[in-house]
Amino acid sequence: MKCELCHKADAETAIRHEIQGEIQELYVCQGCARQTAAPPASAPSAPEAGQPPPPPEGMEMVPLMGMILDAAFEIVGRAMNLAEPACPACGILRHEYRKQSRLGCPGCYTAFSKELDAAIFDLHRATQHVGKVPQRAQALWQRRQLEARLAEAIQEQRYEEAIVLRDELRRLPGPDAKEGGPS
């Protein structure tokens, strides 16, 4: 996920910030974390040489091990429900599917792809499907790919390419499956 302050860099750290007695928790990038944690100009005293600056009152750094240390994620992640990754298609939270070892929907394979890909490799020692291809599902997947490319082409005003993509879409069998399917 992106930093909740600058919305540019990837979030790597969580901070807890007390505002009017209420603790807010944010996922932020390292830059914003440093900036936010730096002592204010009116700080009463500078830190001793060689020592990291102490966090200002009401704010503490929470190291997140993310994908590396599951246990740490569980503890911190549970305390930070808002920031915990969730599947946009079914709403299942990361710790929920981990607890039951069952995913919520086909969309979870996309939502949790980072960690799932590693787990799938551990399970099967492979990363690529070979074998049967269901025609309807393949057509649906192709349609979604084309739709995404078409939207991008229109967005970027590449109209000639958009026309080609639109024609390709028209040649595909009609969509009759619900959204949120295969990744």
DSSP letter at 13? E
Instruction: Assess 181 for contact with another protein (CB under 8 A).
Output: yes
Q: Which of 54, 11, 57 is nearest to 31 (CA)?
A: 11
Instruction: Assess 170 for contact with another protein (CB under 8 A).
Output: no
Question: Is 30 or 100 the residue whose CB approaches another protein more closely?
Answer: 100
Q: What does the buried/exposed string (b/e) look like for 46-79 if buried means 16 or more CB atoms within 10 Å of the residue's CB?
A: eeeeeeeeeeeeeeeeeebebeeeeeebeebbee
Instruction: Assess 148 for contact with another protein (CB under 8 A).
Output: no
Measure the CA–CA gap between 80 and 24, rounded to whole angstroms: 9
- Encoded tokens for 121: 């490799």
**Least Cβ distance, residue 114 to another protein (angstroms):** 13
**57: Cβ contacts below 8 Å, ≥ 6 apart:** 18
Out of 43, 137, 151, 172, point to the residue binding another protein (CB under 8 A): 137
The stretch near another protein (CB under 8 A) out of 26-34, 43-51, 71-79, 174-182 is 174-182
Instruction: Assess 174 for contact with another protein (CB under 8 A).
Output: no
By CB under 8 A, the residues from 48 to 107 that bind another protein are 90, 92, 100-106
Binding residues (CB under 8 A) for another protein: these are: 90, 92, 100-106, 109, 116, 119-120, 123-138, 140-141, 176-183
